[in-house]
Amino acid sequence: MLDDATLTAIADELLEAQRSGVPIPLITARHPGMTVEDSYAIQRIWADRKRAGGSRLVGRKIGLTARSVQQQLGVDSPDFGNLWAGSSFGDGDEVPLAGLIQPRVEAEVALVLGRDVTQVDATVADVMRATDFALAALEIVDSRIADWKIGLFDTIADNASENDPNRSAGFLASMRRMARSTGSGTSGAKSRSGGTGSVAWPFMISKAPPVNGARPANI
């Protein structure tokens, strides 16, 4: 376990990397005693800093939902992070490149909830009842850690590799020009219960840290 001063220093490193566009070295290589609890604590400090700076929380992202990907990384559960208004774009929007370090594009399933899921031990059925509709989505992921050389604890601390570009940037790029094909697959088909199981997962294990009173499936 890392002490509070170290957790805060790492969160500040990640925020500075986002601001400057200069990635940082692998966190776990410098802090080999880091735990999953440390990782989410860093993410929570980062979230508090962003909220204090005016960023607005609009949703949650859940990664590592496919069993095959978990096996590749040697983990047995998904991870989760925050989605901010600054990284949300509609169909046909142009995306500012400034503020992104090493972006990639992934196909995702987005669940839009009609009501909060408040149960700590929420089930797949609870999430399905709360879901208003589902959308096909593209997620632009980014890493504040150099060369995408990350492990589970690193990506959790880095807000599950979520992007948050600087909207004041003058240079824009369309998704089509920015995207580079790195593989193919059936996004969502191999995730837990088609995605709803992944949303329920943080509640099942009671590890989801609240941000401004929100829980992972409350948005």
> Is 215 a member of any domain?
no
Rounded mean pLDDT of 7-12? 96
pTM over 0.85: no
For 32-88, give the DSSP string: TT--HHHHHHHHHHHHHHHHHTT--EEEEEEE--SHHHHHHHT-SS-EEEEEEGGG-
Provide the pLDDT confidence category of residue 128 given band limits of 50, 70 and 90: confident
Rounded Cα–Cα distance for residues 56 and 76 (Å): 31
Residue 80 pLDDT greater than 60, yes or no: yes
> Is 214 a member of any domain?
no
Rounded Cα–Cα distance for residues 164 and 96 (Å): 10
AA letter at 117:
V
Q: What is the pLDDT of residues 156-213, one digit of tens each?
A: 999 998 887 644 333 334 444 444 444 444 444 455 444 444 555 454 433 444 433 3
> Is 129 a member of any domain?
yes
| Residues of the domain holding 46 | 4-205
> Is 77 a member of any domain?
yes
Percent of the chain with pLDDT over 90: 27
Q: What is the pLDDT of residues 14-38, one digit of tens each?
A: 999 988 999 999 999 999 999 999 9
Rg (CA), the chain: 17
What's the number of domains the chain is made of?
1
Residue 118 pLDDT greater than 60, yes or no: yes
> Is 74 a member of any domain?
yes
> Is 104 a member of any domain?
yes
> Is 216 a member of any domain?
no
The CATH number of the domain holding residue 183 is 3.90.850.10
